[in-house]
Chains A and B, each alone.
Chain A
Amino acid sequence: MNSIQATVNKILTYSCVDGPGNRLVIFLQGCNFSCVTCHNPYTVGLCNHCGDCIPACHANALELIDGQIAFDPSACDQCDACLDICPISASPMVQNISVADILEIARKNKPFLSGITVSGGEATLQLKFVITLFEAIKADSELKSLTCFVDTNGHLGAQSWGRLLPVTDGVMLDIKAFDPALHHGLTGQNNAKTLKAAKTVRDADKLYELRFLVIPGKTDTEAEIDGLTKFALSLGPDIRVRLNAFQHHGVRAEAQGWETMTKTGIDKIAAHLRKAGIPEVITPAFYL
């Protein structure tokens, strides 16, 4: 089973923003939301080998072999011109990586790691890989102390959660908006599955934190903050909420024109949430 592969956009051996402690983070390619505000939109699509990126690559790291994009990481200088030109928000630089490969990376970096986090894209789109990876970590005598976390939009059915949660230690769940129409406008999907997932994960005692992106004029409204407050409190008394501030870094053209979220605005919302009884509200360490 450890030969099962995932389409991986990137692997980090140092991250202090993807769960508790320092984590090995696997960014899986592909997403079922198409968020206007996505800060890494090149993780959304899956490459269809159209070849449009080849002429954009000044380092000659890309070519078509038998109709498939071939990428040479040793030639690449990370200019990201291929990402800019891709018509479907994909990346020609993704790699197919097996569970066994990830285990080897985890072993090499074990002394530095508190755990492993799968992120994306939307990690649960490659559910079988994630479950196999987490099972393998828990079965490995050297690696089993690593906690296994998922960073997700929660758009996953109950049966799938039933398979994933037993091998997962913590979930960071992103809620994009509480008003269904606003959510659809921001993501192209409904939020019913996500809201249900929050309860499922919470009931399994695996909800590490709720994440909420605050966008001026959209998700910072009284109705949205009220929705967040009530929803978080309905999940239980010791819920942890992380507020993220909308910034322009990485986002595509449409959202570049939107106003960014300020520290003053975030601090005001955080104070409101704390006053309402949410014990742990995390705000950004800095603003761009």
Chain B
Amino acid sequence: MQEIIEKLQNITDDKTLNPAQKARYLSIEAENMLPYPALDAQTAEALKQRVICDMYEGHAPYKPRYVLPDYSIVLKNGSAYLELPPPETLDEAINTLMIAYHHVPSVTGIPVYIGQLDDLLLPFCDGVSDDALYRKIKLFWRYLDRVLPDAFMHANIGPTDNRVARAILRVDAELKQIAPNLTFLYDPKISSEDILAMATNNIVECSKPHIANHPLHAKLFDDRGYGIVSCYNVLPIAGGASTLTRVNLKEVALRADSVVHFFAEVLPHYMELNFRLAKVRVDYLFNKSNFFTSFLVEEGWIDPDRFTVMYGIYAMAEAVNILQEKEGLAGQYGFDDVANKLGYRMSEEMARIVKNRPLENVWRGRAMLHSQAGISIDEGATPGVRIPYGTEPDPVSHVQALAPHHQYYSSGISEILTVDETIKNNPEAMLQLCKGALESGFREFTANVASNDLVRVTGYMVRLSDIAKFKACKGSRTNTTALASEAADGTGILDRKPRVVGHELYPSYGQ
């Protein structure tokens, strides 16, 4: 008890956290005093050893990890629960969204998805001049960053070339804020070359947006579509993900005698345990938590049938190198053909296992494979299928080594290409790299320019100057700076050669 009190006091007295940040950590501590949903002995042991991992989502899943409301519902109908009439002007539409965001839960308590903003706002733009649109978007953007300061909050635009998307890209490059994160959905048949160039010029300017390969994503979803949320998680709109549990492939490989043993026994064993971990969490959310009695369901913002399970994997680089060593082979992941092929085989096999494992209360009855980008406490484990930080080859070789993985990761995969700052004199090179990556089968193109203050750490954006301030114990108004600071210190993420990085969540205080 004394230990608990001390821990809670450390939070309440912390000089770097603001009151809202303290309240959040206190609530996490409270949740984690509850018993964990019942696990069988093998799964519990694997979780304890962190061969599998629940992302420290908490002991009582009373809300889904990621919620993607269909915001077109509230813009069309208003909301009886929130006592909102249907908006009629652009100001009213933006105001309605600003209110709506505060009622959308997520694992962090801040919405991870704020909508396909051009589709949502274009119907309200008739008669609004370009200049007025720009000024309204700028205020909206400032509001998002100051009031919902979390880099996991994600806006989507595209694939069409339209006024709202252009205004957003202009404002985003100008303000260079951490939040919101931004993805442009690119479809070579629909998007203009001009707007893609505008997006890639923005990357040169501020390392945002991500460029998503829209045709590859769209074909996996239905007419209600998908959204890119948090870092680069690809999920059904009007639904989301109940949970994300992940397998540490490095730990799995350490428990295998050989490549044959790995594929025949060890990998399937731990993959099954990770399914069980997901299952108890989904069961709690659906059967105990009463989450789906929310007005969000009643008014049609979300549909309980549209929540998937994200099946995460990470530390493939370490797993491949460990197995190569056990086989007496020298080739390293990311550089050697044999090593890379072993990696592709892992991805293919894991996708097969996920496809064949039914799950209840999960969208379409199956989980979705995800290349998980890591959390702040991961050490010696490279995110997803990425090449270890600081050792990546040039961007073209980098893409070519990893592209064959992308077909298997339906709920998201991202590599961070770090590009040196000479590209600032030649942004056309960024455009060409992006087109090359997407044409090679990348589901997502993400790049950091080495000298930018705004960079990605595992997937979310941070300002390097904020990290420096945070370390000087001045605190930060953004929730992800503390997380990024830990990730940067613990995982060598900023050791990356000038190229890219991703996102994830700071699981609990002091971890």
Q: Which residues from chain A sit less than 8 Å from chain B, CB to CB?
A: 12-14, 16-17, 20-23, 109, 111-114, 282, 285-286
Contacts and interface: CB of A to CB of B under 8 A. Distances in A.
Contacts of B72: none
Nearest to A17: B422
Interface string B377-398: 0000000000000000011110
Given A17-B426, A21-B432, A22-B433, A112 B421 contact: no
Select the residue from A14, A17, A111 with max chain B CB neighbours within 10 A: A14
Interface in B424-467: 424-426, 428-433, 435-437, 439-440, 451
B132 interface: no
B426 A20 contact: yes
Contact of A113 (B397, B425, B432): B432
B422 A111 contact: no
A286 B421 contact: yes
B206 interface: no
8 contacts: A13-B397, A16-B429, A16-B430, A17-B422, A21-B429, A111-B436, A114-B428, A286-B422
A23 B439 CA distance: 17
Contacts, number: 63
Contacts of B429: 16, 21-23, 114
- What are the 6 tightest A-B residue pairs by CB atom distance, in nearest-first order? A112-B436, A16-B429, A111-B436, A111-B439, A21-B428, A14-B394
Contacts of B437: 112
Contacts of A285: 421-425, 451
Interface in B324-360: none
Select the residue from A17, A20, A285, A286 with max chain B CB neighbours within 10 A: A285
B241 interface: no
Contacts of B440: 111-112
A114 B394 contact: no
Interface in B240-289: none
Contacts of A17: 422, 425-426
Contact of B396 (A13, A20, A282, A286): A13
Contacts of A111: 435-436, 439-440
Given A111-B440, A286-B451, A16 B423 contact: yes
A129 B435 CA distance: 30
Select the residue from A17, A109, A112 with max chain B CB neighbours within 10 A: A112
Given A14-B396, A111-B440, A22 B422 contact: no
Select the residue from B394, B399, B419, B426 with max chain A CB neighbours within 10 A: B426
A20 B428 CA distance: 7
A286 B429 CA distance: 17
A282 B425 contact: yes
B339 to A, nearest CB: 15
Contacts of A16: 419, 422-423, 425-426, 429-430
Interface residues of B, number: 25
Contacts of B428: 20-22, 114
Select the residue from B394, B419, B425 with max chain A CB neighbours within 10 A: B425
A39 B399 CA distance: 29
B235 to A, nearest CB: 28
A173 B489 CA distance: 45
Contacts of A113: 432, 436
A144 B333 CA distance: 34
Interface in B387-416: 394-397, 399-400
A12 B422 contact: no
Nearest to B394: A14
A216 to B, nearest CB: 22
Question: Main SS of chain A's interface residues?
Answer: loop
A102 to B, nearest CB: 16
B498 to A, nearest CB: 10
B177 to A, nearest CB: 24
A90 B421 CA distance: 30
B428 to A, nearest CB: 4
Nearest to B439: A111
B394 A22 contact: no
Contacts of A282: 425
A109 B439 CA distance: 11
Nearest to A114: B432
Contacts of B396: 13-14, 22, 109, 112
Select the residue from A13, A17, A22, A113 with max chain B CB neighbours within 10 A: A22
Given A14-B394, A111-B436, A285-B423, 8 more contacts: A12-B394, A13-B397, A14-B397, A16-B429, A20-B428, A22-B429, A111-B435, A286-B421
Nearest to A18: B426
Contacts of B422: 16-17, 285-286
Nearest to A16: B429
A12 B431 CA distance: 18
Contacts of B419: 16
B431 A21 contact: yes
A12 B422 CA distance: 15
A243 B432 CA distance: 25
B394 A13 contact: yes
Contacts of A12: 394
Contacts of B423: 16, 285
B451 A14 contact: no
Contacts of B400: 109
A12 B436 CA distance: 16
Contacts of B421: 285-286
A22 B451 contact: no
B500 to A, nearest CB: 14
Contacts of B425: 16-17, 282, 285
Contacts of B435: 111-112
Given A12-B394, A14-B396, A21 B436 contact: no
A22 B433 CA distance: 7
Contacts of B399: 112
B426 A21 contact: yes
Nearest to A113: B432
B357 to A, nearest CB: 35
Contacts of A14: 394-397, 433
A112 B432 contact: yes
A109 B437 CA distance: 10
A17 B428 CA distance: 11
A214 to B, nearest CB: 16
Contacts of B430: 16
A20 B419 CA distance: 16
A210 B394 CA distance: 27
Nearest to A112: B436
B394 A112 contact: no
B76 to A, nearest CB: 41
Given A14-B396, A112-B396, A22 B432 contact: yes
Contacts of B394: 12-14
Contacts of A114: 428-429, 432
Nearest to B440: A111
Contacts of A22: 396, 428-429, 432-433, 436
A111 B432 CA distance: 8
Nearest to B393: A14
A14 to B, nearest CB: 4
